[in-house]
Structure 1
Amino acid sequence: MAAQPGGVEGLRVCTVLQDCLDQLAVLGHIMPVTYEGRPDADMIVSADVGQVLQEQQAVEMRFKEVMSSRWRDGAGLAQVTGELQKSQLQLSQVLKNSPLTPENLSKVQRDRQFASQVISEVLAELQEAGTIQSLLLAVQAQKERKANLHDIIVREEEGRHRVRALQRQLVDIRQEKELELQRREEMIAHLKDQLQEMKAKTGLEGKYVKNSAELQLYQGNKINTHSENELQASIQHVQDKIDKETRVHIEVESFLKENQNRLEEKLEMWMERYERDTEAKQQELNLLKSTKANNLTHLQELAKKYRECEQLVIEDRVEKETARRLREQEATESSAAVKIQSWWRGTLVRRGLGPFKKGKKGKAKGKEKGKKKKKK
């Protein structure tokens, strides 16, 4: 990042930029569009523009010296100054080539206005914030604009090449279409000849077909007459069969009616037997139900007796278990009492208490024995 100018140096930079603005304003006044058509315009324009360009170059040199003396980071500033010099050189080249054409005059005016606007913004930014960020942004925008113009020119060139290729392709297609049209005209002539041949052949075939159809019609009539006679014979045969079938149907119907009557009589007999058997089975069922009820009552009584017996058995087992536990407890207590008595007697004997108490000699001897045992 560039350092911010301050004090007298900032004022010098602002003065240089203001001088640039004045020079651009003078350039705008001495190069109006109204000079076009005047006989002395070439002399006026060449003299004024040469002077303005010299002054512009001097201003650029002063601006470069002032800015390089104030900013430590000279790389970015040198780049910006180079871009400004490049734009001014392009402007001078345009003016030197043809300064009086309407396109050049309008371009000079646009470039002058753009340079004036950029310098005004830089001057305002220097006065307010002390930076030249707007100048860097303007240069970057011009770079992007030139890059876009270059892309447009490249795409236009590519489009021209494609148009040329398409035109060549169109010529080839036209030639192919002409050849194809010629082939089709030849094919049409050939088909016309074939059509004439087919018409002649169709006339001959039509006569042949007509004669053949008449012959087939005659043969068909004879065949139909023979078929009609055969069908009449078949109809008579079928009618005889129908009469026979009718007689057979009547006989079968009478036979079926007789069988139906016999079957109805059998059905009545079987219905009566069914009712009798049903009543007998119902009586048996009632008897079985009553027997079942009696058996159920007896079973309930037996179950009650079983539960009572089972309760008695359980109570007897509980009493026996209680008695067994009491016996075991008594035996355990008796054994414990015997052991306690044996221990107590042994204690009395060992210590010589109670009835087992000994005299003094006995005690002295006991003490001597005890001492001897300790010595050992």
Structure 2
Amino acid sequence: MSKVVRDKETNEDIILDPEKDLNIVLPGYKCHAYISIFEDAINQLAVLADVVPLGFQGTSKDTDKISKVLKNRKIMNFNEDKENENISQMNLANNMIKIQNERNFIHSLFSKTINELKENKFQSLVRTVIDEYDKKNRYKNTINKANEASELLKDLQAKLSNEKILLEEETNERNQVIQQLKDTIQEITTLTASEQKYIKKETKANEASVKGICQKEESALLEKKHLLQKKIEQEQMAHERIVEFLERQRGELEKQIEEWMQKYERDIEDKCQQIQDVQGQLEKDTEEFESLSQRYEELEAKVQEDREQQQQLEYQQKLNELRTEAASKIQKWWRRIFRNKKSKVKTSKKGKSGKKKGKKGDGKKKGSKK
């Protein structure tokens, strides 16, 4: 996997590809040049080690001992001034330890690369660069996460402060409402005590007035009771008399009903006899009606025949009359025609004789002229 690294001096991206870089083989002249550069750097690191105070030189074990001693000193010092001095000394010691560790690390790295460059390779240098780049990225990621967490913490703190302010406002408002309610309750208690006294007096007065009214109503109701009892006794007497009267009426009506029933039976028998007589008379009348209807049909047939004969006679008479009228009209018409013919013949004869006379006269006139 290739990785991109930005150079701080040139601001250019450097692409790191471990698979390719580890397999690179440098030429000999470049390796000698690089070896001389790394040896010069090692000499400069030795000069830096000489510059560092003697107390901070040594191996990593010595640095661990120094850090333990500094921690013990920090625990043992209780005064504030001494603690501040110890903290500054600890910071200085830690910085020097870091410098010493980095110098030792670079010294060992350069020595390894020199040994590898003798074989025309530099794998350890590439690996250390990639590892340091990964460490740096991890450190950046942790810093970014810490910044995000701090921003989120600030937002939450701001929200918490707002919520606290709102809660305080709500509590103040509720306390005010509670105080108002307490005041109203106290006023109500004072009012209820005075109202209770007034109500007791009022109830006593109402009770006395109601008792007087009830006594008056009771006396009036007792009088009504006596009157109603008298009315009930009178009504009972009247009821008994009415019952006796109705019983007498009932006996009389029962007798009348018996008489009417007997009369009803007699009337029914009479009516049945009358019905039988009427039925016999009806049978006789039906027989007479049938005979009369037969006679009527016969007479009606005869009358119909007479009517038809009379109609035929009338029709013949009308035909004869029409024939006579037609014959007379024909005769008159023929006579007129005959007369007209005779008159035409006479006129034609007269005309012919006149024409002949005229012709003779004309001949004479013509001869005289000649």
Please report the TM-score for the alignment, with normalisation by the length of structure 1: 0.39
Larger Rg: 2
